[in-house]
Amino acid sequence: MAARPSEQSTATDVLVLGGGVAGLSTALCLLQAGRRVRVAARAYLAGTTSAVAAAFWYPYRAYPEAMVAPWARASYERFAELARAAPEAGVTRRDTIEVFPQFAPPPAWASDLPDFEFVPTAALPPGYGAGHRFTSYVVETPIYLPWLMRQVEAAGGELRVHAYADLDEALRDCPRVVDCTGLGARELVPDPSVYAVRGQVVRVRNPGLSRVWIDEYSGGGITYIVPRSHDVVLGGTADEREEDTTPDPARTPGIIARCARLEPALAGAEIVSVAVGLRPARPAVRLELEARPGGVVVHNYGHGGAGVTLSWGCAAAAAHLLLHT
């Protein structure tokens, strides 16, 4: 891990604020376009929301839909390529089923997927009235975030630990800034429209599962099962404007019980850890260029429950805004 405080300054074309999935992906796009990039973040890895994410491709709680669909599609293509050609990145192709109490029309993004289909009710677990099936990609953040950091460094980028007080301070360091600070944008910009949606996940030992399941509408809260190589991430909760990052032990049995309805083998699975993250929600993802005294800032934050899903599409769009405006 190369993130370190440093006093030394090297020539930088762009300063990217944020070391989560948004900041690192954007930095990589800018490096690939030949720019000299420094990333500065208050924290990397376990200090980010990105590290808590489940983190599978699924557009959830990110707006507006018309913009989210093309960003999600671009990321889908990149994840497909990584799953095929870069096993060290920790991205895995997964059969995925979303269940519903009754008929549900296909989502707006379904036509972008190669294999979206309806599941016959008889093939669903008992009690569900409809199902959608498609290929998704699971991004194992304990592997993927360090991989992204290595990619940034290998392409010549710098990774620093620094918390900026405001954008003026960042613009004094570099006149071209990309703001990927997630929930931190609320104070940094400042942007009062950013708010937290608290999510609790339970990680259990994998009893041999490989399919992703999603159930948002059967009551009890958003439910998902995300098998990874060494564990399964079980979700979850979506608590609007709650910011306590301490796991609530009272919520854990309910999460496991809802998941065991879909995969009974989870009922007795050994708990490895319980974690909480704060989704950086906003009425709309902010992806725009702002001219300020001292330079320009491209904002790339507010991805809600889909920051991984949107990461490559938004990174490419943010880089394009900075390079071509």
Ligand X SMILES: Cc1cc2nc3c(=O)[nH]c(=O)nc-3n(C[C@H](O)[C@H](O)[C@H](O)COP(=O)(O)OP(=O)(O)OC[C@H]3O[C@@H](n4cnc5c(N)ncnc54)[C@H](O)[C@@H]3O)c2cc1C
Question: Which member of 201, 225, 269, 315 binds ligand X (CB under 6 A)?
Answer: 201
Question: Which member of 3, 16, 17, 194 binds ligand X (CB under 6 A)?
Answer: 17
Q: Does 96 bind ligand X (CB under 6 A)?
A: no
Q: Does 52 bind ligand X (CB under 6 A)?
A: yes
Question: Which member of 109, 144, 195, 301 binds ligand X (CB under 6 A)?
Answer: 301
- Three-state DSSP at 251 gives coil
Q: Residues 239-268: x/- map of binding to ligand X (CB under 6 A)?
A: ------------------------------
Closer Cβ to ligand X, 33 or 161, answer by number: 161
Q: Does 136 bind ligand X (CB under 6 A)?
A: no
Question: Which member of 131, 221, 227, 236 binds ligand X (CB under 6 A)?
Answer: 236
Cα–Cα distances in angstroms (integers) from residue 177 to residues 14, 25, 274, 290, in the given order: 6, 15, 35, 10
Describe the crossing of helices 21-32 and 141-154 by its angle, rounded to 10 degrees: 30
- Give the interface size with ligand X as a residue count (CB under 6 A): 45
Span between the terminal Cα atoms of the chain, in Å: 34
Q: Does 303 bind ligand X (CB under 6 A)?
A: yes
CB 118 within 8 A of CB 102: no
Q: Does 214 bind ligand X (CB under 6 A)?
A: no
Nearest partner of 58 among 17, 125, 117, 113, judged by Cα: 113
Q: Does 184 bind ligand X (CB under 6 A)?
A: yes
Q: Using CB under 6 A, which of the segments 18-26, 105-113, 212-220, 243-251 binds ligand X?
A: 18-26
Cα–Cα distances in angstroms (integers) from residue 254 to residues 97, 188, 236, 240, 271, in the given order: 21, 36, 9, 18, 13
Closer Cβ to ligand X, 151 or 309, answer by number: 309
Closer Cβ to ligand X, 49 or 223, answer by number: 49
Nearest partner of 210 among 231, 191, 192, judged by Cα: 231
Instruction: Please give the structure tokens belonging to residue 276.
Output: 């909480």
Dist CA 135 CA 100 (whole Å) = 18
Q: Does 67 bind ligand X (CB under 6 A)?
A: no
CB 302 within 8 A of CB 58: no
Phi first, then psi: give them for residue 211, nearest 5 degrees. Answer: -100, 140
Q: How far is the CB of 194 from ligand X (least distance, A)?
A: 10
Contact residues: ligand X, CB under 6 A: 17-23, 40-44, 47-50, 52-56, 58, 163-164, 180-184, 188, 199, 201, 235-236, 277, 279-280, 301, 303-309
